[in-house]
Structure 1
Amino acid sequence: MIKINSETQFPISETLFVFALESEAGTAFNHINKITTGIGKVNAAIELTKAISINKPKLIVNLGSAGGIGFSKGEIICCTNFIQRDMDAQGLGFKKFETPLSNIPIVLENGLKMEGLKQGTCGSGDSFEMNHINTEYNVIDMEAYPLALIALQEKIPFLCLKYISDDAGSDAANDWSVQVHLASEAFKKIIFGQKD
């Protein structure tokens, strides 16, 4: 079982684990129901949609590496709010990060809160951020927003945990390449650390 908090848990057999890359999953998740989507919002959306239709999961868990502001490298952050950080239609009179004519809130609220973990707001976009200047989000990735949106629309509970690999600054690329390989072991302790 995956224990979210004292009142909520899900069978691992009915959970779909979603990673962008095999390097984030390592070998720790080989024996469970998982997909790797590839990098970026479009790949994430396509692969999750296909997997939902085949697997019919009771829980979707997104595990991956991310930049983080105000967190330490190696920390795992539970994301419960999501922003599409590269959506910019301000020239048409829409607000920063607002998806025009969609009725989707700028800050998408979705995600279970896992006991014992800090919470964050994840900004997803199709760029590797190395000069973070936005204050609206403090976790930076490239896939979580569409995963959270699809899970919400499909009414499937969603858990998003991000391993902080870098600070989205000038050394982010070097930090990420070192830290990404440590993510799977950190996730393994949180997910499988409890007895089934």
Structure 2
Amino acid sequence: TSFKEVEDRHITFFKGDISGKEVALMKCGIGKVNAAVRLSELINIFAPDMVVNTGVAGGIDTEVNVGDVVVGSQCCYHDVWCGEGAWGQMQGLPLYFDGSRKILDIVEGLSLDNLHTGLICTGDQFITESIGLQAIKRNFPKALAVDMESAAMAHICYQRNIPFASIRVISDTPDKETDNQTQYFDFWETAPKRTFDVLKKVLEKL
């Protein structure tokens, strides 16, 4: 597959095809603002039919382990409080941003081990200790994973009426009796291939 490099406003995009589907790729950077700004630029330039975000996340449920893949059936903020409504909800917006039903149906039909669908929580924090994880689980007991970008991108797609999905490989598990910093750095050899394999299978079936 060949890709064409496109530079715009200090952001590098790559345009090409994967599994016969025309795609535009970018690195969104770390955190909610980077993700929102860069995705907005991508949408303005390429007008995609749907947006799929891939990356890593911390596992915050006993059923997920390092190397597992979580696809967000919903995404939400875990660090937002506006004084009214539910914790994590911005006024005028839903608490939960739904993932693309079409992509979720495809994912749930794949014969892949250690693949989960569920809630991904987003905040501008790298969760390294169980105390932070417990606070998130208290507000969102069904959450499977925590990251720093998914809900921000889901938020943008909700406002633009664009289907969105987040595919995250679990990099560490802060609440388990392991050194999660070591987990995070040790798994990188397999993480990119794991998420790309899922993404490729999804694109093949779209």
TM-score over 0.5 for the alignment? yes
Where do 5+ consecutive residues of structure 2 fail to align?
1-18
Preserved CA contact (<8 Å) 2:71 2:166: yes
Q: Which moved more, 1:134-143 or 1:170-179?
A: 170-179
Provide TM-score, normalisation by structure 1: 0.75
How far off is 1:174 after superposition?
Answer: 2.2
- Alignment-mate amino acid for residue 88 of structure 1: W
- Structure-2 change in CA distance of 1:152 and 1:181 (3 Å): farther
The residue aligned with 1:40 is: 31
What is the letter of the counterpart of residue 187 of structure 1?
Answer: T
Match of residue 85 from structure 1: 78
Matches within 5 A, 1:123-138: 123-130=121-128, 131=130, 132-133=133-134, 134-135=136-137, 136=140, 137-138=143-144
* Partner of residue 165 from structure 2, selected from 141, 159, 162: 159
Flag the structure with higher helix content: 2
* 1:74 counterpart residue number: 67
Tell me the residue number matched to 2:183: 175
C-alpha distance 164-52 of structure 1, shift in aligned 2 (>3 A): same
The answer to which of 139-148 and 185-194 deviates more is: 185-194
From 119, 122, 132, the equivalent of 2:120 is 122
TM-score, normalising length from structure 2? Answer: 0.72
* Structure 1, 183-192 or 72-81: larger mean CA deviation: 183-192
Give CA deviations for 1:33-71 in whole Å, capped at 9, x if unaligned: 211011000000000000111111112110010011221
Larger mean Cα displacement after TM superposition, 177-186 or 36-45: 177-186
CA contact (8 A) 1:78 1:159 kept: yes
Q: Distance in 2 between matches of 1:141 and 1:47?
A: 17
User: Are the aligned partners of 1:37 and 1:44 in contact in 2 as well (CA < 8 Å)?
Assistant: yes
Q: How far does residue 193 in structure 1 lie from its aligned partner after superposition?
A: 4.9
Aligned length: 165
Separation in structure 2 between the aligned mates of residue 71 and residue 59 of structure 1, nearest angstrom: 27
Structure 1: gaps (5+ residues): 1-9, 16-32
Structure 1: how far apart are the matches of 2:121 and 2:174?
Answer: 12
Cα distance in 2 for partners of 1:59, 1:93 equals: 31
**Mapped partners of 1:93, 1:149: distance in 2:** 19
State the match for 1:97 in structure 2.
88
Identical-residue share of aligned pairs (%): 25
Q: 1:51 to 1:79 in 2, by over 3 A?
A: same
